[in-house]
Structure 1
Amino acid sequence: MTLALERPAPAAPAPARVHPRRVVIGFIMALVLLGLSIAASLLVGTREISPGTVWSALFNPNRTLTDHTVILDLRVPRTVVGLLAGLALGLAGALMQGVTRNPLADPGLLGVNAGASLFVVAGIAWFGVTSSLGYVWFAFAGAAVAATIVYLIGSLGREGATPVKLALAGTALTAAFTSLITIVLMADSEAFDRYRFWAAGSLVARGLDVALPLAPFILVGTILAIVAARMLNTLALGDDLARGLGQNLVTARIVCAVAIVLLCGSATAMAGPIVFVGLAVPHVARWITGPDYRLIIAFSAFFGPTLLVTADVLGRIIAQPGEIEAGLVVAFLGAPVLIALVRRVKLAGL
């Protein structure tokens, strides 16, 4: 008698083992750094305000005092915007690098920034939009449209939306949108003057009226990022093996794409096209956690806000009595960190 032996279905891969002590210490450091950046954002500015006054303004506010008004109306909203935008950019960068398996992926790779910028330019030049709150919805719509177009183009063909095709489609769309932006701005000097302030990437003049309407989108994007973390661990093995393990590639990429649109669109709408946070933060997280995207997503949620808020604080200090936009400072902060990581870790593939 012969026995028919059925080949067992392959089990889902276990994430690479990470030293628990390293993760715990990294998590504590992330919390401490985030707390310090928030405190610095509330304390530092062109107007010197003591820590006691800041504490009083937060927990016993008195609107008749000028210092309390500065804290409540300027520094608190600015800090909240930095935290939300940094959270969104950090998570979006981790998702982009995971779903495309490209270590250089950031919000610019899939055309998100270019789409947001094009729609903001259109809003300024053709619809007379002048306020930050007005830019928000144009930027969000542009990011969503760009990501949708990139995914549709990348899905053409027999293999569907592969990482290489998505990256190429995003690069091509970015080039096309950038050309359109240049054409519009060259024909309208007033639109150029307004656009360049938004495009620099800054937390200045961004208040709660901008942040609060976009907070629900960031919340949904964060939840989707958490859900996608396990999917990214499987996708990192390659399409063929992921499919053999039972992973629905279309579903995984759609979940990641929706999360990226929500996160990148919201962050770009709030703070402008800040690109380096989403590029550098996942690498810092990966250096601590290893390749497990469940941990990379968690750490990126802390490091993103810390980097952006810290950059904003430094921008207030180094150019007093003026300021340097956070988007410019982020590049100076993040570039050395990323160079050091590239020298220490092989980043050819994720």
Structure 2
Amino acid sequence: MSPVTTSSSVKPRLAVIFGGRSSEHGVSCLTAREVLAAIDADRYDVQPVGITRDGAWVEETAQWDDLEAGTLPSVRDDLPGFAWERLREFDVVFPLLHGPWGEDGTLQGLLEMADVRYVGAGVLASAVSMDKPFTKTVFSAAGLPQLPYVTIRPWEWKQERERVEARVHALGLPVFVKPARAGSSSGVMMVDTWEELDGAVLKARDFDPKVIVEAAARGKRELECAVIQGLDGKPVASVVGEITVAQESSHEFYDFEAKYLDGTSSNVVPADISVTLSERIRAYAVQAFEAVGCEGLARVDFFWTEDGLVINEINTLPGFTPYSMFPVLWEASGVSYAELVERLIQLALQRETGLR
């Protein structure tokens, strides 16, 4: 199918999907509220589509005016239903689902089967980027520097505990225990003593039966870079930013509460780093984008440690509130929030359906 072309009197139909079944449901809703407000209603016929925590599809409005401080919105389950088959009626879909069942290739696969254009990465890139161990395998093949890690599969933790623990202990303390396929630091715990390991694994498994344990970065600074494709398809990197957490806060690291709920984290854009380091990060960000076969957009996260620069992960559907790092980085790079949303929609409209 060729790219969409419409006459000046016909507006492309755009469906914006958000919410979902993952632990990042509320973050997705916040993202949707801001993206919908930025879309030019004079240019597009827009249909917001919410997915409840139980997986029901509804005609949501993404208007939550009564939110209390420190709380996140949810898709309401008392709204008219939306049959997903109706997505075939739309020219393009803008998925804003974070985490499993949306960012991991599942929704992308449905849209591919339905021959519907959509914003962002395809099935393979979405699935690989959502699964941290597989992401690391791809990054390793691409020659990108990383921290040592151990993957723990459910059967290994039950049947070969001693062998797995020995591999984890070889990483040294402290370590970070994470769900293999979750974002926004959900279920992440820093382990300072080996007595904490079992509880940390159990906590991570509340979010994902597969767990990853990573060596901690010594003296780390958390640096991030955003990537977006130009209309010619070539990926371009933004300026580099830094995430900081207030020293007086109770957070040991940049966790879910620090990111979204209590205001103890902040973005420093551009980061106070050398030009040489900035250019290296920007080059690595594009390299990571291409290594996983990403499309549209991504945010790539790094640690600058006592031992040098390492890549942490790639996020194919990053948070998109005006205060999220992805749009903030592009604002500092000369692309406004509204321009960013418009470019992503145009990229999707120009993209061929089928195998690419």
Compare the two structures and name the one with the higher strand fraction.
2
Category of TM-score, reference length = shorter chain: under 0.3
Compare the two structures and name the one with the higher helix fraction.
1
Q: Which has the higher contact order (CA 8 A, sep 6+)?
A: 1
Q: TM-score, normalised by structure 1?
A: 0.27
- Structure exhibiting the larger radius of gyration computed from Cα positions: 1
Q: TM-score, normalised by structure 2?
A: 0.27
